[in-house]
A = this chain, B = another copy of it.
């Protein structure tokens, strides 16, 4: 199995489909991105990295940051997090508020917006917003082993000005006392974590700890325990693509987390961490070509967790 060939083939085969889907336009800065791009990177647990296409172009990781903030929050408060957020698929879109009302301000899981906002509130504890953003950025430098990662302030500001639905979610949960800090502070951090810029190679490296029992094989640094890595993977599989999670599991068979910037981080436990990116989104708000690429990759590598 030649992973470089597989990556190259996927890029070539998807070439005619570039531009499929619809670039997220509810964050004005994101709407400016050229849709005709596609990148893929594969980082294996034995330390090799393969990439093809626009794998070194930076993009806004958006909701993929939810995986990393969850990792940070679990490090801070451990399993106590589950008192404030569930771990069930929501069956709803990424920004739905209906379930929150029926379930008294407890979001279904940490990978929908409401749940991620609670996670951010947890990470914020005892910090000024700027410090929490700094902590997140240092954590990303650490797990990606790359000090150059930075946040696109214009994207953060753009969402700050237009993210009314997130303000609604945060205020709603604050009314249920499930947000402890001022909404402006929490969302200030949230919009910045989402505005982190990464390319596919960096993202694949950052996710390696999830593929390798909690430890980054490139640096040897332990990020989480093996058990926690398993659990984060489980949650990515059941909840990582909003109301498209079942379909992603069905077609791809790997834990994955999507972002409206067009990126997906996927994990083949024991084997590799992968990142794909293409800006166009499908009807569930998940990257259109990215899912197709990962379906091809999983089929060609046999890495589906459901194959054995």
Contacts and interface: CB of A to CB of B under 8 A. Distances in A.
Nearest to A243: B88
Contacts of A213: 307-308
State the main secondary structure of chain A at its contact with B. Answer: helix
Interface string A241-273: 001111101100101000000000000111100
Nearest to A235: B250
Contacts of A247: 87-88
B164 A171 contact: yes
B101 A211 contact: no
A231 B255 contact: no
A25 to B, nearest CB: 13
A209 to B, nearest CB: 12
A65 to B, nearest CB: 20
A304 B230 contact: yes
A237 interface: yes
A24 to B, nearest CB: 14
A133 to B, nearest CB: 22
Nearest to A26: B175
Contacts of A244: 88
Given A97-B168, A98-B98, 19 more contacts: A86-B246, A87-B246, A88-B89, A88-B247, A89-B89, A91-B99, A164-B171, A164-B174, A164-B175, A164-B183, A167-B183, A168-B170, A168-B175, A211-B308, A233-B306, A235-B246, A238-B249, A305-B305, A305-B306
